[in-house]
Chain A
Amino acid sequence: MPFHYFGKVSFVPYTKVAEFADYLKNGKLMGTRCKNCREISFPPRADCLSCLSDEFEWFECSGKGRLHTYTIIFAAPTGFDDIAPYSLGVLDLDDGGRLLGWINIPEEEITIGMRLQAVPKIFEEVPEIKLYYSLEKANTT
């Protein structure tokens, strides 16, 4: 599956980690693990940041973590004006790494340090499938 299905607006059609979108469509949030030094990466990387090895494997990430910081975007860029305002959060993942995504809980309930879970989502299927993940209250899907 081409990577450009990932995101409301895509800027990257090709990547060595394009399988990420395939997994996401099947409800799986995947990170990469270096086969050489076992370093874990989220967001995924084809080339290990620690040792530059290009041998990697996928692992399923729980998506659970703590909210590190957030913002609410009122002035949106082209392609996102129709969904503004929207909350963006950075999650410190329990499995390692960090993730940025939309926070799908009311603004007034958002607090730094709260437990959240990144959940794979399908944004729309016609005319073209669009995939993403959103940050939900932990243990719900």
Chain B
Amino acid sequence: MKVGVVGIGHGKFGRRSDATVQELACEPFRDALMDAGGISRNDIDFLSVGSSPEYHKQRSLPGVIAEYLGMNPQSTWLTEAACASGSAAIRTAYMAIKSGMHEIVAVIGVQKMTELTTPEILALMGRVGDVQWESIFGTTFPGYYAMYATRHMYEFGTTKEQMAMVAVKNHHYGALNPQAMFQKEVTIERCLSSEKVAYPLNVFDCCANADGAACIIMANEKKAKKLNDTPIWIDGVGSASAQMSVLRRPHFIGIPSTVEASKQAYKQAGIKPEDVQVAEVHDCFTIAELMAYEDLGFCKKGEGGKFIENKQSYIGGKTPVNVDGGLKAKGHPVGATGVSMTAEIVKQLRGQAGKRQVNAEIGLTHNVGGIGQYCFVHIYRR
């Protein structure tokens, strides 16, 4: 039995001081119901919520969301995997449907981050590393990825210019996405001269903390065909973990959980990396997108820099990547990101992506939690 996506909704990402978490969740939920052919809330038997709870004043999010959306007494709970919570919630829904326990599931990824100050967020995110032996030295989330970047530059000659090219591409496409936080082009020079965050990363190498929500409705094969003329099928789901402490990782040139999760997803879907025609990858930092090209097999290890330099991840290139702006331009409301990636791939495969449309039948999402402690790779097909 296949599992399909029959409805999508995507709220505006950015600084959303106008809305509570549950109000944010309601925006894409309403749109996803409409998109799924005006399906009734009563038809949904499980609400799978993805979010990283530390950022919110409100505790136990699914409770308040289920009530606000009028989804009581249906089953609901939270799935957490840091920045990959959204994809983890999709995997929870996939397992629920695959097992036959539920037929139609709504997945909501939501996050409100701007209730906290930037130093508070830096402290919080730095603690996604090992707090016993690492955070005591003032590690930060950008700092961890920066250490990957330094080593990647050392081993492969990757340059800061190549990293900036990722930002330039993602802002180029973000400018075409009305849901994006930043809808403005940037230049390499602007990126390289932006404020330093953690050498070798500057502000423009980093995605922005944002508020936002996205929703998808998933259903089993029978219901999906009834609800939607063009359900998008989930053909492969991969999930893997890597050491919490980067000190215990095998190397600093790639994310091992990405390699493992993508292998699983490719195998289940019966495809190779070169069959992927459009991809959403986890570009929390520009170096993360370069490593993702390599770890997902779009190019060889160490050639991520050349891949962007030769515009292979642009529309018209070998594998168009993050043509909605990515985390970089769209904003990264942690729990919402994985669901947002899926909504974009569904749009692409349905042919509804407007100016940023890629002609594609097979799409991929790659969602990383923390510094690769968690990774989820999903393959979608028209």
B-contact bits for A1-39, CB 8 A (1 contact / 0 none): 000001111111001000000000000000000000000
Inter-chain contact B132/A12, CB cutoff 8 Å: yes
Residues 120-146 of B contacting A (Cβ, < 8 Å): 120, 122-123, 126-127, 130-140, 142-143, 146
CB-CB < 8 A to A101: which residues of B? 137
CB-CB < 8 A to B247: which residues of A? 43, 90, 97-100
In the bound assembly, the distance between CA atoms of A98 and B358 in angstroms comes to 44
Inter-chain contact B123/A79, CB cutoff 8 Å: yes
In the bound assembly, the distance between CA atoms of A123 and B197 in angstroms comes to 25
Residues 66-115 of A contacting B (Cβ, < 8 Å): 68-81, 83-86, 88, 90, 97-102, 112
A-contact bits for B31-59, CB 8 A (1 contact / 0 none): 00000000000000000000000000000
Inter-chain contact A73/B138, CB cutoff 8 Å: yes
**Interface size counted on chain A using CB atoms at 8 A:** 38
In the bound assembly, the distance between CA atoms of A7 and B247 in angstroms comes to 17
Partner of B147, one of A10, A71, A75: A71
CB-CB < 8 A to A12: which residues of B? 131-132
CB-CB < 8 A to A56: which residues of B? none
CB-CB < 8 A to B73: which residues of A? none
In the bound assembly, the distance between CA atoms of A55 and B160 in angstroms comes to 47
In the bound assembly, the distance between CA atoms of A80 and B151 in angstroms comes to 24
CB-CB < 8 A to A102: which residues of B? 137
Inter-chain contact A7/B137, CB cutoff 8 Å: yes
Inter-chain contact B147/A70, CB cutoff 8 Å: yes
Q: Does B94 contact A (CB under 8 A)?
A: no
Inter-chain contact A73/B134, CB cutoff 8 Å: no
In the bound assembly, the distance between CA atoms of A33 and B203 in angstroms comes to 42
Inter-chain contact A71/B120, CB cutoff 8 Å: no
Inter-chain contact B198/A72, CB cutoff 8 Å: yes
In the bound assembly, the distance between CA atoms of A72 and B123 in angstroms comes to 16
CB-CB < 8 A to A9: which residues of B? 135-136, 138
In the bound assembly, the distance between CA atoms of A28 and B134 in angstroms comes to 19
CB-CB < 8 A to B138: which residues of A? 8-9, 73, 76-77, 79-80, 83-84, 86, 88
Inter-chain contact A90/B147, CB cutoff 8 Å: yes
Inter-chain contact B198/A71, CB cutoff 8 Å: yes
Given A6-B136, A76-B138, A100-B137, A68 and B151 contact (CB-CB distance below 8 Å):
yes
CB-CB < 8 A to B131: which residues of A? 11-12
In the bound assembly, the distance between CA atoms of A7 and B151 in angstroms comes to 26
Q: Which 7 A-B pairs have the closest CB atoms?
A: A7-B136, A80-B138, A77-B123, A71-B146, A72-B199, A11-B131, A69-B151
Chain B positions within 8 Å of A, measured between CB atoms, are: 118-120, 122-123, 126-127, 130-140, 142-143, 146-148, 150-151, 154, 195-201, 245-248, 252
